[in-house]
Structures are given as C-alpha cells and as structure tokens.
Structure 1
C-alpha cells in the first residue's frame, strides 16, 4: 500500500515538473505602434535564462523579420515560434506560426505590413482570412481582457479558430479561468527586449502540454485544467518578483515592524505590475506647499482677452476638427460593449472587489469662493501691455497691485481653513 502511494506521488511530481513555461508576446523591433527602443540579444538571453522559459514567440506589431528571428532562435537555444501582433478591426491579436513555415509566414506578414502604414490603421477579418488563408494552421490569441480588446462581431468571427485569450493581470486570469463561458486565459509579458531593461515582468504562463509544438499547445489551451500561473502552486499563487517571490491570487496583507521593507516591497510591486492603483503612505493627508500651489494656479495661460476675441471662430474650428465618424462609431460600439461587460462584472464581483477601500470615491472639499478666478483676471489686466494706457486711464496700477495682493492673502487664509477641515 505504501509502495503504491509512493509511486503515485513520484509520478505526480514528474508531471508537475513537465510543465512548460511560455511567453508568446515579445517585441524585438520598434514599429509605428511602439516607442523607440534598441534591441539587445544578450538581454533576451538573460530574460529566458532568469525566467526559465521553455518557449517564446516573437510578436512584433504588424511585421515579421526572418533574419532577426533566425538569429534569436540560434542564440536562445529554446523553442522560438515566428509570430506577429496584428491590428485587427481596432483590436489586437497574436498570430503564431510553425517553426517550419518561416518563409511562407514572412510573405504573408509582408502583405499585412503593406496595409498598415499608420498606427491607427487596421485590417478586417476578411483581409486577415484572405492573407493567411487557413487560419486553423496558426495559433491565434486575441486581446481578450486586455486593451485594445477584440470583441463583438470580430470575436464571433474568430471563435472557430481560437480557444484562448490574453489578459493583463493575475486577477483577470483567475476570474476567466473560473468562468466556464470564458476563453482559456493566458498571461504574457508584452515586453520590449531593449538594452536598458532593469528587470523582467513576472507575466508568463505554464502549460501541461507534454511537448512543445504548435499542435500540442493549441490542444492544451482548449483545456483550462492544463493552464496555470505557477509551476508548483497552480493558480493559488503567482510569481511577483524575479527572485521567485510569490503572492496569493486572493487578498494579501503585508505586515512588519518599521524599516522592515514594507514600503520597498510595495514600490517593487508597482514597478512589476502595469496600471497598479497604489495609495502611498501619507498621500491622503499631505498637501502641496502653499507657494507651489499658488505658482501652479497662476501658470502661464492664454490671455483671457485674446480668448474672448477669438472665441467665435475658435469654437467653430474646434467643433469641426473633432468630428470623426469612424471614431464616433467605434466609441459607441465600445460604450455598448463596456456597458454589457460592466453588468456582467457587477454580478461576478468577488468579496475583495466589493470592499469600500477599493471602490469608494475620493473625499473632496469644494473651494469657498471663486477668488482664484478673480486673481487670474486681475493678473491678466495688469500684464496686458496692448491696452495698458486705456486700463490705467480708468484704474491706477497701484490700485490693481494692492487689490491682487489682498486677494492673494484672502486666498491663502481660505486654503488654510480647508486644510484644517481635512485634518479635523
């Protein structure tokens, strides 16, 4: 009996250590959709070694470079799939090909590049189908719970060819993995391999796929029980730092005495995770210095007189320049989709999402007067040189100077009263 249990445990551990760690969203060439960066093959090799990756895919925006791909494949010594990130109907998809079809893939990617010239360009699903012909021959992963997402009719058209969708956080991964109506989530780094990389993003996915091939990975992604955030702990813990430190996918509490590194840990978490909502210590009670606030309020702006003089034509030009039919249609579609998603998420909110700490609105105290507007108006009159003679004819400069000084003093007193209200 004991021998049988030992064999089962040993076999389970072997299966655990066969998990493959992948990152299929990596950029190596700056494009019109990226900020410029200098690619560094040595940092790519370091990223693969430090994160212990078993397979990667090169997915640059709307282009593929065979020469660079072959150099990377030869240098890394792991499985490297050719891929591309495509602007598809204002969302993004990752399209990954087999290692044996590089030349054919390059020709098809060139056709994509010909169609996408500006960062606002995109191709339709029909154009995608025409270029790549048999979409079942590729691994296609749309931006699912990640901006800019693929949704609506475009997602419906892709459904026969996809089984997974990319998310941008561990919380979204857990939410989607638990929902049987959702695609299998995958979490990737979306990193730029550049010379000045300080640290590596802890966003990779583990697969229980047996072997690393496009067919086995596609088959694995159809089964949510074979996709994980961590190797040993499944989806209960996930790695947050490069040194292997893990945190819970639920609620985490950081406890320790003064100078034990709590603030440093939170700062490092903020650097590692995109779009983190971080309320720094004392940020809710400390305000800016009065002088700094005053300087900010009276920073140079366009003169009120000039604005009034040009207000008629300016308003007309602003209204006309903002008209964009494509953007309007996209905004309406996005609003409708966001409204439906909000309704679904409201029902699916977990215990932590309902905490007031994460959902309460900021406490605000309104100003007691419009004194700042008066100060700005008088400052404009004092500094306006074009009509200075006409102004001084009716109001002396000394009177204006005395008035603005007195208003500034009143403003400072009011701000002091507001701070006292906050502290009380």
Structure 2
C-alpha cells in the first residue's frame, strides 16, 4: 500500500529559533485530516516533551505518531526519528537530555553525539540546500539517511542529481493557529509538503526500510505501486500479472 508521512512537525517553540506560539491540538487534527496523513513525527528543537508526545499520540489515533528531535550539532542540523516503543522513547529522551547538558545552543559535537546509545537505530533526515545543511558523518554512514528538501522542485532536482539517495519533503510545520509566519501553519500552503512511501502499514520498521530505497518514495502517489488484497493474497498494482490461455479462468482469482 501507499502511505503519506510528515516527519518534521513542531509542537513546542524554541525561543532562540522559532516565533513563539501555543500548541493547538485542534490545528494538528485539522492538518492531518485535511492532508490524509498516516504517520507523523514530533521534532522540536533540542527537546522532547514526553507529556506533549503522549497527548498527541492518544488524540491522533489511529494515525501513527513517532518521537523525534531536530538536533543542533555544531556542524549543522539533523532531524532524528525513533520508534514509538519504550526503547525508541528512551533513545530520544537521552538525546534531548544530552543536547541540554552539553550546550544545545552551540550544538553537540559529532564525538559527543556518537557516545549516545541507540543512535544508529534511528531514521535520519539531513537538511539539503540550506545554510544549516550537514554532511553525513563518517561514523553514521550506515544509518537510514534521507535528505530533507524545501519544495517539490528541489525534490525532483535532488532525485535527478543523486538517484541513489532518498529525498523527502516535510512541512516543518508549527502546530498552532497563531504563528506570524504563515508558511509554517497555513493549511493550504502546507498541503503539498508531505511524502508518500510504499509500505503495507505505517509502522516504524516498514517506513525505515522503505526510506532506504529511492524507488519507494515519491511526492506523487501515482508513481508508487499500491498493494491490494485479493481473496487474502497480496498483489501489487503494476507488478503482478495474471496470464493464461483463453477460457482458463483468468477472470477468477483462487
């Protein structure tokens, strides 16, 4: 099947980086419903608020909600997303704690970050084409890495230039009605800032695996193969072909 995800949403402002705003669950519900989103990640700047995350997870069900953080390293920014199980939550909470204790404003050094347990089990979204763009550190070459772009044109350009890598387009939204920057909370402006992934279900494991294959990620649902169930058998549109002679029963699927 094909699912739509947005793994870059802010719910708590950072006074050094964001316009101040108050979180609105109503806005988040409207945003996810209007855009028919199947999974999101909460990625606030250098912090993780477990109470806020649990509230969103409960209120948005059955939409999958994953914990994350937009982390400042001293060489640039990267979004990291974890599974929403106890292990994933502990990894994200530990990263957030380290970000505060080791100077979140200046940013963690790569060496400091690499000491945190569980970081290779995450999904990484590296900024591309921005001033805070970060090269993938050598010690993280084997992680699931994607490249966040600002718009559909840059998505297409990136895909043409780097066909072996995976671009993604996410909203970078502020979940509020009161932000002064309309590009961060205007529902119409954000309507095309999500990414389709070819997965059977929007679980963390399936999405993580999918994001390693550029052929399974797109801004257009029609460019991906959908999976349907026929009499309990999963077949994929555009991939499975039923052949046989005339009168052999191709119209029926057993």
Instruction: Give the shorter-chain TM-score range.
Output: 0.7 to 0.9
CA distance in 2, matches of 1:107, 1:156: 22
Partner of 1:220: 210
Call closer, same or farther: CA 1:34–1:183 in 2, change over 3 Å. Answer: same
Q: How does 1:352-391 map to 2 (within 5 A)?
A: none
**Which structure has the larger Rg?**
1
1:207 is aligned, of 159, 182, 197, to: 197
CA distance in 1, matches of 2:145, 2:98: 26
SS of corresponding position for 1:123: coil
Partner of 1:167: 149
Give RMSD over aligned pairs. 1.9
Partner of 2:79: 94
Call closer, same or farther: CA 1:50–1:135 in 2, change over 3 Å. Answer: same
2:66 is aligned, of 75, 81, 93, to: 81
Higher helix share: 1
Partner of 1:371: none
* 1:25 aligns to 2:16 (yes or no): no
SS of corresponding position for 1:35: coil
1:27 positional shift: 0.4
**Structure 2: gaps (5+ residues):** 179-184, 225-254
Query: What is the CA deviation profile of residues 292-313 of structure 1, one whole-angstrom value per residue up to 9, with x for unaligned ones?
Result: xxxxxxxxxxxxxxxxxxxxxx
1:214 positional shift: 1.9
* 1:130 aligns to 2:115 (yes or no): yes
1:73 positional shift: 0.6
CA distance in 1, matches of 2:36, 2:111: 38
1:180 positional shift: 4.3
1:188 is aligned, of 170, 182, 189, to: 170
Contact 1:142 1:150 in 2 (8 A): yes
Contact 1:206 1:227 in 2 (8 A): yes
1:135 positional shift: 2.4
1:103 positional shift: 4.2
1:129 positional shift: 1.4
Aligned length: 212
1:28 positional shift: 0.4
Partner of 2:130: 146
Contact 1:57 1:81 in 2 (8 A): yes
CA distance in 2, matches of 1:61, 1:169: 21
Contact 2:48 2:96 in 1 (8 A): yes
Query: What is the CA deviation profile of residues 65-94 of structure 1, one whole-angstrom value per residue up to 9, with x for unaligned ones?
Result: 000000001111110000000012231111
CA distance in 2, matches of 1:93, 1:181: 21
1:107 is aligned, of 76, 94, 103, to: 94
CA distance in 2, matches of 1:182, 1:155: 18
Contact 1:176 1:182 in 2 (8 A): no
SS of corresponding position for 1:46: helix
CA distance in 2, matches of 1:198, 1:178: 30
**Structure 1: gaps (5+ residues):** 1-17, 235-424
Q: TM-score, normalised by structure 1?
A: 0.47
Which one scores higher on RCO, CA 8 angstroms, separation ≥ 6?
A: 2
CA distance in 1, matches of 2:78, 2:186: 27
Contact 2:3 2:199 in 1 (8 A): yes
1:42 is aligned, of 26, 29, 53, to: 26
Structure 1 runs (4+) greater than 4 angstroms displaced: none
1:233 positional shift: 5.0
CA distance in 2, matches of 1:61, 1:127: 18
